[in-house]
């Protein structure tokens, strides 16, 4: 009877802690997005993922996994990052109420200010949106025949980002889209822009976001293990090379993709700003050199079979899980 009561109490405590932490982190992430004016969809998705994963997994690790695992140096490091917020929620749940009230008040004030600014600048926002759609139309014209060759169900939309960050990435949700910096689109010529769009369309065709989402969650949960970062970097390299292969098979121009990679890396180094979240077109200089060398040697002539990609995803997933456990 005492064991059952203790188990029920632990379960109730777990759900209470998860609910309070979820509400707190939801408001905190929303406030950070509003204050920092984060418009990068990939960065916003990453923040929301951390806000959802931590409240659910942290109490589970703290109450179940760590006692079962044993207090190794890695476990102590993980416990030091999890203990304080969970201990606070467990013993002082009402202490969160003033903090939640402050967050809610801040969000309400920011919303009122944002609505007022939007009302005052409605005409400017409309003109900016029309200009962005106008400039993105040539990119859609380049993308349409390649999307048909790849067999995509829907033509992805192309969105130009008016941002200092130099990046290009694809998002696969209900309306797939390819997002790229406006200054980057102006820098590339037609062939290089076509190669870059084909590369991002290949990510949508391969559904790379599924494996990347799983790997990112494993990497964030096991951040203290250096092996998992090596496995994650290897997975990103394999994903990018596979997208290069499929893009070259569509465009038949490996030199254009290589020139595009070099230009993107040069522009990133010139501005000093890089958006390193999610599937980026360029990751690290060493990976870039390897990809450019493959393209110059014309090794990306044939796309990687989907069966090989599934095997690669499985091996990468197993390696990441084992690295996290070790």
Q: What is the token pair recorded at 109?
A: 């004030």
| CA count, 13 A, side-chain hemisphere, 300 | 30
Q: What is the pLDDT of residue 131?
A: 46
Instruction: Write down the pLDDT at residue 129.
Output: 44
Distance CA 148, CA 239 (A): 22
SS3 168: strand
pTM here? 0.58
The pLDDT, as a whole number, for residue 265 is 80
For residue 93, what is the DSSP state? G
Instruction: Please calculate the CA angle 71-89-325 and round it to the nearest 5 degrees.
Output: 30
Cβ neighbors of 60 (< 8 A, separation 6 or more) are: 14
Asked if 107 contacts 27 with a C-beta cutoff of 8 angstroms, the reply is yes
pLDDT at 183: 82
∠ at Cα 12 (10, 17), nearest 5°?
95
pLDDT score, position 195: 92
Q: Which residues lie below 8 Å from residue 207, measured CB to CB, with a gap of 6+?
A: 172
CA 179 to chain centre: 13
Query: Angle of helix 190-206 relative to helix 122-150, nearest 10 degrees?
Result: 70
Residue 126 pLDDT = 43
CA separation, residue 148 to residues 186, 205, 208, 285 (Å): 25, 11, 19, 32
pLDDT score, position 194: 92
Closest by alpha carbon to 199, among 113, 291, 123?
291
Burial of 270 (0-12, 13-18, 19+ CB in 10 A): exposed
Contacts of 181 (CB under 8 A, 6+ apart): 160, 161, 163, 165, 166, 167, 168
- Chain mean position to CA 87: 30
User: Is the distance from CB of 186 to CB of 139 less than 8 angstroms?
Assistant: no
Distance CA(185)–CA(166), nearest Å, equals: 10
Pairing between β-strand 177-181 and β-strand 168-171 as defined by DSSP bridges: antiparallel
The alpha helices in the chain, defined as continuous H runs, are: 2-36, 41-60, 66-69, 73-91, 96-120, 122-150, 182-187, 190-206, 208-221, 226-251, 254-271, 285-296, 306-325
Which pLDDT score, from 0 to 100, does residue 293 have? Answer: 87
Question: Which residue in the block uniquely carries the two structure tokens 């796309």?
Answer: 303
- Write down the pLDDT at residue 193: 92
Task: Tell which residue, 212, 314, 199, 320, has the closest CA to residue 253.
Answer: 199
The answer to whether the beta carbons of residues 324 and 221 sit under 8 Å apart is: yes
Question: In this predicted structure, what is the pLDDT of residue 169?
Answer: 80
Contact 140, 201 (CB under 8 A): no
Q: What is the mean pLDDT of each run of 10 residues along the chain (326 residues)?
A: 59 68 69 64 62 67 66 61 59 64 67 61 45 64 89 86 76 78 86 92 85 72 67 81 90 90 78 43 64 78 49 53 49
């Amino acid at each position: 009877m005492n064991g059952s009561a203790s188990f029920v109490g632990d379960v109730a405590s777990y759900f209470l802690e998860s609910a309070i932490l979820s509400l707190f982190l939801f408001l905190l992430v929303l406030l950070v997005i509003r204050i920092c004016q984060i418009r990068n969809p990939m960065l916003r998705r990453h923040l929301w993922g951390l806000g959802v994963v931590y409240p659910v997994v942290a109490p589970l690790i703290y109450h179940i996994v760590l006692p079962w695992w044993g207090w190794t140096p890695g476990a102590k490091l993980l416990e030091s990052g999890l203990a304080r917020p969970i201990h606070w929620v467990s013993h002082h749940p009402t202490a969160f109420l003033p903090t939640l009230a402050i967050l809610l008040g801040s969000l309400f004030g920011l919303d009122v200010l944002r609505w007022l600014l939007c009302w005052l600048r409605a005409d400017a926002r409309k003109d900016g949106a029309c200009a962005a759609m106008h400039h993105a139309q040539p990119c859609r014209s380049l993308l349409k025949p390649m999307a048909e060759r790849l067999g995509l169900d829907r033509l992805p939309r192309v969105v130009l980002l008016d941002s200092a960050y130099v990046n290009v990435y694809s998002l696969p949700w209900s309306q797939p889209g390819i997002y790229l910096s406006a200054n980057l689109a102006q820098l590339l010529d037609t062939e290089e822009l076509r190669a870059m769009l084909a590369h991002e369309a290949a990510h949508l065709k391969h559904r790379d976001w599924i494996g990347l989402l799983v790997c990112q969650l494993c990497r964030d949960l096991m951040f203290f293990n250096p092996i998992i970062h090596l496995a994650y970097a290897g997975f990103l390299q394999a994903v990018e090379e596979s997208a290069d292969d499929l893009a070259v098979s569509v465009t038949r121009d490996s030199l254009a993709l290589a020139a595009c990679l070099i230009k993107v890396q040069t522009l990133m180094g010139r501005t000093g700003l890089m958006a390193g979240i999610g599937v980026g077109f360029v990751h690290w200089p060493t990976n870039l050199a390897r990809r450019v060398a493959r393209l110059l040697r014309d090794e990306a002539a044939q796309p990687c079979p989907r069966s090989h990609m599934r095997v690669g995803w499985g091996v990468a997933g197993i390696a990441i899980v084992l690295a996290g456990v070790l």
